[in-house]
Amino acid sequence: MITHRTNMFTYVQNNPVDMIDPEGLGHYAKTFCDGSTLRWEFTRTVPEELKKCLAAHEEDHVLYIPSLIPNPCCPKDRFLVVLSQNPDMYYKVECRGHGKELKCLNNQRPTTTIVQRRQKELRDYLRKPKCSRFN
């Protein structure tokens, strides 16, 4: 249900011009706190040919975020607040995850149309200035 308070641009960090998600892949998985532990999960059915590489992306978040944000889950979901208030840190985490996912997809055979589209999307995202400064 959409209410007057529903934020329709959360999936693009309130920046629908620079951050797009044409394949809707940003909604396949989420990183979250389970007690004091950072975890991730698929949030809907993932195309089989993308599953392994989307998992690599999310696993990278789980391993990398604690190196940037000590105690990322205390208080609950603290890392989400910190990342939303620090765009540079958010891009550092997301660009790194995208890089891991692209590397995984590049090593995958045979390739399919959905893999090729995702590879292009990731390459385009990683070429943007917000990511190139972290390479």
pLDDT at 60 over 90: yes
Residue 117's domain comprises 26-132
Domain count, the chain: 1
- Cis peptide bond N-terminal to 110, omega within 30: yes
**pLDDT per position as a tens digit, 70-121:** 999 998 889 999 999 999 999 999 999 999 999 999 998 878 999 999 999 9
106 domain-assigned: yes
In-domain check, residue 8:
no
The pLDDT assigned to 106 comes to 95
Taking the C-alpha atoms of residue 5 and residue 53, their distance in angstroms, rounded to an integer, is 34
pLDDT bucket at 44, cuts 50 / 70 / 90: confident
Q: 53 lies in a domain?
A: yes
pLDDT value at 64 more than 80: yes
Contact 29, 52 (CB under 8 A): no
The verdict on residue 15 lying in a domain is no
In this structure, is residue 108 part of a structural domain? yes
Average pLDDT over residues 120-127: 92
Q: Is residue 80 part of a domain?
A: yes
Lowest mean pLDDT among 3-12, 31-40, 66-75, 104-113: 3-12
Query: Does 11 reside within a domain?
Result: no
For residue 81, is it within any domain? yes
Q: Which residues contact 31 (CB under 8 A, 6 or more apart)?
A: 38, 39, 40, 58, 61, 62, 65, 79
State residue 104's pLDDT score: 96
**Contact criterion met (CB below 8 Å) for 57 and 100:** yes
